[in-house]
Structures are given as C-alpha cells and as structure tokens.
Amino acid sequence: MGEADDNESGAAEASPATNHGADRAAQVPHAMAALAHAAGLEISPEQAGQFDAYRGLLLDWNARTNLTAITDPDEVDRRLFLDSMLLLPALDAALLLMPASPNRLIDVGSGAGFPGLPIKIMRPDLDITLIEATGKKVAFLNACIAELGLGQITTIHGRAEELARDPAYREQFDVVTARAVASLPALLELGMPFLHLGGRGLFPKGLDIAMELSAAEAAAPLVGGQIVASRVLPGSQTTLVAVAKVGSTPKKYPRRAGIPAREPLGHLDRSMYDHSARRRRRHSAESVRSDPPRAERPAAARGSS
C-alpha cells in the first residue's frame, strides 16, 4: 500500500525525481520497467517516470471523458503501453534503412496516444506527428505532451483523408503507424499517402486477420504499397503487418472522409471475403442442424418465433 501512496503523491506533481522517488526506484523494480524487460525492452528511470505521469493523466482524464475502455492501471501498462512498445524492434529495423535523422513518424487515429506517445517516450529523437479526429482526445494528447515535457511532437486535430492531401504532410514521413483505427485496406489508403518512397507502414493487428490481409494484398498496389511482412509478435496477441512504400500514391487517394473505411479498396478479394463468409455461415448452419436437439431450443419455442 505504501507503494500506491507513493505513486499517488509522485503522480500529483511533475517532479518524479525527488530523493524519495529515486530511493524507491533503486529498491523496487518499476512495474512498467519489469514488464518491458520481460519483453526484451529496457526503459530508463526517466522513461519509467514519464510512463507513470502518462498513466496518471490517462486515468484521471478517463474518469471524466471517454478516452479508453481500459481503466485498470496494470491493464494500461500491459495493453496500451507495452502493446505500443512492441512495435519498437520493427520500427528500429525500418529506420536503419531510412535517410538521416530526425526521422519522422506519423500516427494516424492516435486516440489517447497509442502507439505514438509510448514510441515518443522510448525514442525521443523521433519527430512525431499524431493525428486524431476527436477534439477532446487531441486536448488530452496536448496535456500529456506538456506534462511529460516532450519536444519535436505535433498533434493535429483532423482526419487523415484531408491531411494526406496537404503537401506539407503528403509523402513526407519515414513511418506511419495506426492501431485499432480501421481495417487494413482502409489503413493502406489512409496511411500510404504520408510515406515517401521507401517508407514503412507498421500496423499492429489481432491474430485472426487472414481475410483482412487478403483484401489488403489487393489494395496495396493501388496506393503504392507492398505488404512485406505479417508476423505474430513473440509473446503477444498482435500480428504486425509491415507495408513498404514502393510507388507514389495516385492523387485520387485517399478518397474523401469516411469512404476508405466504408468502401475499402481491394474489391476482388472482398468478394472472396464474402464468399468465405457465406461458406462459414453455411457451415455453421449445417453443424447446428446436425447437432442433436438441445434443451434450450424446444420445438415449441422454435414454432413461436
């Protein structure tokens, strides 16, 4: 309990480096640092302090505004902070191949900052742009940036469809990320325009993405992309999809706001998607029919519906 009290007093002030805090950091392994270490990532005491402040702000704002469904501090560490940090090895590898620094990353639909803000904490040299369509989330991001004292990071309240047409942003970035924003074909249309040739899209997805991936294979060449990897990250429930920018994105993309998500590119494979969805529906109907009658489906109830 002493630790929780310390956390509270530490998070309330923007001065995590009190003697007391430093002593404790030396004695008790920081929970976030331990989590990161288990995933093969090291975080400094200063970064651990920034994650503490970020978590504090997130929980505090979330009590008043709806930023994320996650409200448990350990879940914040695991499902938001660590999940975002899992992109780091692929990000570092991609940046090795890029022109000189500062490297620029854009996070589309950043929400409460994922994965862009944890990436900024871990890789402070990156120049990061966070785009978010919802004003109150942008206000939260700005509050975090100020509180954590981060530089070379910009927030933009707007939609990717519009920003990607602005010459100040189009084909200007080394890396684009987007987490839990849209299906892969939509992410390709929204994300690829931001990348210069040779840039990388890094899109964390869930485990069951076969159909989305096949639609994305058809969508990628339309927007100058090529899917170069799709791998389940070790010890996680995340498939990381990496896309290379191999050709310039035609001017007509992205289409106007809302269309990329509503009418995703990759129609050829979408028909395949529909086909397999139909097959799955038929299959499950058959397995229901071949099941022995179940108590919860009495004939009388079926007749009355």
Per CB under 6 A, residues contacting ligand SAH are: 108-112, 114, 131-134, 137, 159-161, 179-181, 190
The minimum distance between CB 29 and ligand SAH, in angstroms, equals: 27
The minimum distance between CB 131 and ligand SAH, in angstroms, equals: 5
CA distance 121 to 48: 9
CA distance 211 to 203: 15
**Which of residues 32 and 178 has its CB atom nearest to ligand SAH in the complex?**
178
Q: Are 254 and 164 in contact (CB under 8 A)?
A: yes
**Which of residues 252 and 289 has its CB atom nearest to ligand SAH in the complex?**
252
SS3 245: strand
The residue written with tokens 């996070």 in the block is 107
The minimum distance between CB 109 and ligand SAH, in angstroms, equals: 3
The minimum distance between CB 24 and ligand SAH, in angstroms, equals: 30
**Which of residues 107 and 269 has its CB atom nearest to ligand SAH in the complex?**
107
The minimum distance between CB 110 and ligand SAH, in angstroms, equals: 5
**Which of residues 21 and 145 has its CB atom nearest to ligand SAH in the complex?**
145
- Measure Cα distances from 65 to 59, 212, 217 in Å: 10, 32, 38
Of 92, 31, 38, nearest to 234 by C-alpha is 38
**Which of residues 10 and 77 has its CB atom nearest to ligand SAH in the complex?**
77
The minimum distance between CB 165 and ligand SAH, in angstroms, equals: 12
Of 69, 42, 47, nearest to 58 by C-alpha is 69
DSSP string for 187-244 = HHHHHGGGEEEEEEEEEEE-S--HHHHHHHHHHGGGGTEEEEEEEEPTTSS-EEEEEE
Q: Are 189 and 124 in contact (CB under 8 A)?
A: no
Name residue 243's amino acid.
Answer: V
**Which of residues 33 and 186 has its CB atom nearest to ligand SAH in the complex?**
186
**Which of residues 112 and 222 has its CB atom nearest to ligand SAH in the complex?**
112
The minimum distance between CB 9 and ligand SAH, in angstroms, equals: 28
**Which of residues 153 and 160 has its CB atom nearest to ligand SAH in the complex?**
160
Q: How many DSSP H helices and E strands does the chain contain?
A: 15, 7
CA distance 235 to 232: 8
The minimum distance between CB 208 and ligand SAH, in angstroms, equals: 18
Pairing mode, strands 225-232 and 173-177:
unpaired
Query: Which tokens hold the place of 204?
Result: 């964390």
